[in-house]
Chains A and B, each alone.
Chain A
């Protein structure tokens, strides 16, 4: 009796729906491993707004079986913008090393912890972690969380931010879970832009510009710097300020560095160069705790640490805005990193 009713129940299951879901997931799975798809995405994406899918593409295009030692430059947009990876790779080729730039716009230590397993799955040899005040003193972007999401972060959110964070950001957490099995859903916004762009080129509605490597290729006027400083003076409000996740980010930075060093990674932390006037755009009370924290971490873990603000190598002409280098600055920093890598190898 039971057996018969089980068979009859089995037959009446919505098999078309189940098959459709399986095929849909299969398509997503196939795409996530398809290098032509990722090449296409990288080629037609815009570094200005699509850096989430570009990171996905960079990961997908890394040759896991390469015999070269992989060095990952990670961190926020400074990591992405301040280094010319092609130049570094040309110079360090004899050392059997290859550098990958995996910087992400507004990436914070919370994101790095979420990405940790992904980084390690490529068996890198060393990490260069580029950090600055904004990694800790800006609001965490829950809207971008789905791109880097790893459920292992949830207990840390609960412990450090309280359970309210799940209620307040419920749609973003759900979105992150939904994005896990579907690469199309995860990257739907950049994908739509890419398809739109591709169709425009195809129909000759737009002419294709030269592909961009960096977001910040134009220089901002001097007025921009004055205006930002004045704005802060008048309003006392800044993009860089104590945020709900500031303490959590510090804990995550400590966790990330600790676990990386624990797993035998060679870690170099760079305090990213900032414009000499940057400190006039936010409340200076944040400087001491931030710098103290980095020094404390340095003495705790003993990683290589370079503070470019303290070194005073960069001047106003090297910056495109307060926190990103221009072409000249990029060339300077690239040379320094090259030397660091050469020293490490020798």
Chain B
């Protein structure tokens, strides 16, 4: 069930009505939300509900066992059990085919003729998101940051809460679980803010992302040779498509939560305004980057054991971060690329203070130049991410840097104009958000501006909104 479908609108109307009817009984609200969340997830494939349930039950009981454990050994046994079982489920459904085919290819490369067993494993939607969310709970209990809950339905709701179940944000138990365990307050302001976030999220998804997909998809599905100008447009289109697709989903999730009195974390904070890789990862998919930092980078040692170990830890974290996105070498390379960017930035950072200072105005210009350069480094990463194979990535890279052509055999139609048209309002609003340092700047702006922008958005959605329920990109991760 996708947020941008009529089916979901009907589902939501029923859920909200029941939620309001049960407003004085939060336990009953929780139960209703749990049932609704399972229906929401089961709408994709009811068989995968068992995986969600198994993951929930294991983590629930293991967390209690960890908390009640008489000694460190028992605690360790249960944390290994819970983390291990989650990773086994995730590994089997997401990475089994990838590892088998990669291993087979490697063995064949060395002359050992091995044929891979054929297993058609269907990837359960959102498995990476809820597995990480559920794991964060037991890890926090293990690290004594959180007391385990003794109510299975409440915990199950924390894992499966439908607004953020299939594509995040990956909420921490320390943030979301306490909200599940106490009555929520639904306010008029929460309803308005939530509705605004849903509207803006839908605009990002249905107007921007889905229309940019129509520009990017044909370029990436074409075969070589590529014209540099086409690749450039394709990459720019994809850069904004993936931002609006994912940010749109996160905003809708936050909006739905807000209406019900839940506070769901901000997942994107103007990432294309970053001037360096460290800042980018503080702004892009914040829930995943902080998860990786807290549960992988820091446990590996973080930056506490010297430069070499810091670089190693960064590389491991980013490689696994890349692999989290999907069982494909292009994702691994994308992760490695961002790891390299982070390492290189750490290496050159001490030298940057020796650069001449240009005062306030000059500093602003330098900042804009940095943003421009770093945006293009991010776009290079998106080329790896979006390419259908390593071969395609290599060919496209060559067309950009070695043999750039402004004219292609497949001449451009209006793609460049449409690209500008679809991102124009987003860019204007994001610049405004950045200057005011407020993601809700439009919502809080004066009545005339707000009304005019709303009318423009309505007209744009009415005319160009893609209404056939395009899937969100991050569902496949």
Scan B455-477; emit 1 where CB is below 8 A from any A CB, else 0: 10011001110000000000000
Asked whether B462 lies within 8 Å of A182 as measured between CB atoms, the reply is yes
Least CB separation from B461: chain A residue: A185
Contact of B462 among A14, A184, A199 (CB under 8 A): A184
Stretch at the interface among B231-239, B281-289, B446-454: B446-454
B192 interface contact, C-beta 8 A: yes
Instruction: Please tell me if the beta carbons of B455 and A23 are within 8 angstroms of each other in the complex.
Output: yes
Q: How far is the CA of A32 from the CA of B71 in the complex (A)?
A: 76
For the complex, what is the distance from the CA of A137 to the CA of B188, rounded to whole Å? 54
Q: How large is the interface on B (under 10, 10 to 19, 20 to 34, 35 or more residues)?
A: 10 to 19
Let me know if B414 is at the binding interface, CB within 8 A. Answer: yes
Taking a contact as CB atoms closer than 8 A, the residue among A12, A23, A27 that contacts B188 in the complex is A12
Contacts of A171 in B (CB 8 A): 6
Q: A residues 16-47 with Cβ under 8 Å of B? A: 16-17, 19-21, 23-24, 27
B413: chain A residues within 8 A (beta carbon): 200, 205
- Given the complex, which residues of A lie within 8 Å of B450, measured CB to CB? 16, 20
Of all chain B residues, the one with the shortest Cβ separation from A187 is B463
B10 nearest in chain A by CB position: A170
C-alpha gap A55/B301 in the complex (Å): 70
Whether A27 contacts B464 by the Cβ 8 Å rule is no
**Is B417 engaged at the interface, CB distance under 8 Å to the other chain?**
yes
Interface residues of B in 399-414 (CB under 8 A from A): 413-414
Residues of B within 8 A of A174 (CB): 6
Assess whether A188 is in contact with B463, with CB atoms less than 8 Å apart: yes
The reply to whether A199 and B414 form a contact with Cβ atoms under 8 Å apart is yes
Inter-chain CA distance A20–B451, complex, in Å, is 5
A191 touches B (CB below 8 Å): yes
**Interchain CB contact (< 8 A) of A203 among B192, B414, B447:** B414
Interface residues of A in 197-217 (CB under 8 A from B): 199-200, 203, 205
> Does A16 lie within 8 Å of B451, measured CB to CB?
yes
* A27 CA / B460 CA spacing, docked (Å): 13
Distance between Cα atoms of A199 and B451 in the complex (Å): 28
Q: Is the CB of B447 within 8 A of A24?
A: no
Residue interface bits B178-204, CB-to-A below 8 A is 1, else 0 = 000000000010001001000000000
A20 with B462: CB separation less than 8 A:
no
Cβ B458 vs Cβ A20 within 8 A: yes
Query: Which residue of A is nearest B454, CB measured?
Result: A20
CB A280 to nearest CB in B, in angstroms, measures: 38
Distance (whole angstroms) from the CB of A33 to the closest CB of chain B? 18
- Residues of A with C-beta under 8 A to B462: 24, 182, 184-185, 188
Q: Quick one: closest B residue to A19, CB to CB? A: B451
- Interface flag for A196 (CB, 8 Å): yes
Distance to closest chain A CB from B459 (angstroms)? 7
Give the complex CA separation of A203 and B462 in angstroms: 25
- Give A138-195 interface residues, CB cut-off 8 Å to B: 170-171, 174, 182, 184-185, 188, 191-192
At the interface, yes or no: A15 with Cβ under 8 Å from chain B?
Answer: yes
Closest A residue to B468 using CB positions: A171
Chain B residue, CB-CB nearest to A9: B188
What range describes how many residues of A lie at the interface?
A: 20 to 34
Residues of A within 8 A of B463 (CB): 184-185, 188, 191-192
Residues on A with beta carbons closer than 8 Å to the beta carbon of B464: 188, 192
Select which of A15, A16, A24 is within 8 A of B459 by beta carbon: A24
Residue of B nearest to A18 (CB): B451
What residue in chain B is nearest A25 (Cβ atoms)?
Answer: B458
Cα–Cα distance between A14 and B458 once the two chains are bound (Å): 16
Q: How far is the CB of B424 from chain A (nearest CB, A)?
A: 15
Tell me how far the C-beta of A21 lies from the nearest C-beta in chain B, rounded to whole angstroms. Answer: 7
Closest to B465 in A: A188
How many whole Å from A167's CB to the nearest CB in chain B?
11
**Residues of the B chain whose Cβ atoms lie less than 8 Å from the Cβ of A170:** 6
Asked if B455 and A24 sit within 8 Å, CB to CB, the answer is yes
Cβ 8 A contact of A200, one of B6, B414, B458: B414
Q: Which B residues lie within 8 Å of A200 (CB)?
A: 413-414
Report the Cα distance A81→B236, complex, angstroms.
Answer: 45
State A188–B463 Cα separation when bound (angstroms).
5
- B451, A205: Cβ atoms closer than 8 Å: no
Interface contact A23-B451, CB-CB below 8 Å: yes
Min CB–CB distance A245 → chain B (angstroms): 23
Docked-complex contact A184 and B459, CB < 8 angstroms: yes
The minimal Cβ–Cβ distance linking A24 to chain B, given in whole angstroms, is 5
| C-alpha gap A343/B464 in the complex (Å) | 50
Residue of B nearest to A15 (CB): B447
Known contacts A185-B462, A188-B462, A196-B414: A14-B192 contact under CB 8 Å: yes
Q: How far is the CB of B93 from chain A (nearest CB, A)?
A: 32
A203 contacts which chain B residues (CB < 8 A)?
414, 417
- State in angstroms the CA–CA spacing of A16 and B458 once bound together: 13
Bound-state CA distance A122–B6 (Å) is 36
A105 to B376, CA, bound (A): 49
Q: Closest CB of chain B to A59's CB: distance in Å? A: 21
Contacting A at CB under 8 A, from B80-95, are none
Partner of A21, one of B6, B195, B458: B458
* Least distance between A201 CB and chain B CB atoms (Å): 11
The complex places the Cα of A16 from the Cα of B195 at a distance, in Å, of 13
In the bound complex, what is the Cα–Cα distance between A26 and B140 (angstroms)?
Answer: 54
Q: Are B414 and A17 in contact (CB under 8 A)?
A: no
- Minimum CB distance partner of A21 in chain B: B458
Give every chain A residue within 8 A of B454 (Cβ-Cβ). Answer: 16-17, 20
Q: Does the CB pair A16–B414 fall under 8 Å?
A: no
Report if A16-B6 is in contact (Cβ < 8 Å); known contacts: A24-B459, A192-B463, A203-B414.
no
Min distance, Cβ A64 to any Cβ of chain B, angstroms: 28
**Is there an interface contact between A16 and B417, defined as CB atoms closer than 8 Å?**
no
A231-B463 Cα distance, complex, nearest whole Å: 40
Complex Cα distance, B62 from A110, in Å, reads 63
Find residues 35-69 in chain A having any chain B CB closer than 8 Å to their own CB. none
| Chain B contacts for A182, CB-based, 8 A | 462
For residue B188, which residues in chain A have a CB less than 8 angstroms away from its CB? 12
Tell me the minimal C-beta distance from A185 to chain B in angstroms: 5
* B459 touching A27, Cβ below 8 Å: yes
Contact mask B34-75 → A, CB, 8 Å, 1/0? 000000000000000000000000000000000000000000
Q: A14-B192, A184-B462, A184-B463 are in contact. Are A199 and B417 (CB under 8 A)?
A: yes
Report Cα–Cα, A167/B414, bound state, in Å. 39
Q: Give the Cβ gap from B211 to chain A, nearest Cβ, in Å.
A: 10
Interface residues of B (CB under 8 A from A): 6, 188, 192, 195, 413-414, 417, 447, 450-451, 454-455, 458-459, 462-464
* Sample of 9 further A-B pairs with CB below 8 A, known A19-B451, A20-B451, A27-B455: A16-B447, A16-B450, A20-B454, A20-B455, A185-B463, A188-B463, A192-B464, A200-B414, A203-B414
Q: Closest 6 A-B residue pairs measured CB to CB?
A: A20-B454, A16-B450, A24-B458, A185-B462, A16-B451, A19-B451
What are 25 residue pairs bridging A and B, where the CB atoms are less than 8 Å apart in the complex? A14-B192, A15-B447, A16-B450, A17-B454, A19-B447, A20-B450, A20-B454, A20-B458, A24-B455, A24-B459, A27-B455, A170-B6, A171-B6, A174-B6, A182-B462, A184-B459, A184-B462, A185-B463, A188-B462, A188-B464, A191-B463, A199-B414, A200-B413, A200-B414, A203-B414
Please report A residues at the B interface, Cβ cutoff 8 Å. 12, 14-17, 19-21, 23-24, 27, 170-171, 174, 182, 184-185, 188, 191-192, 196, 199-200, 203, 205
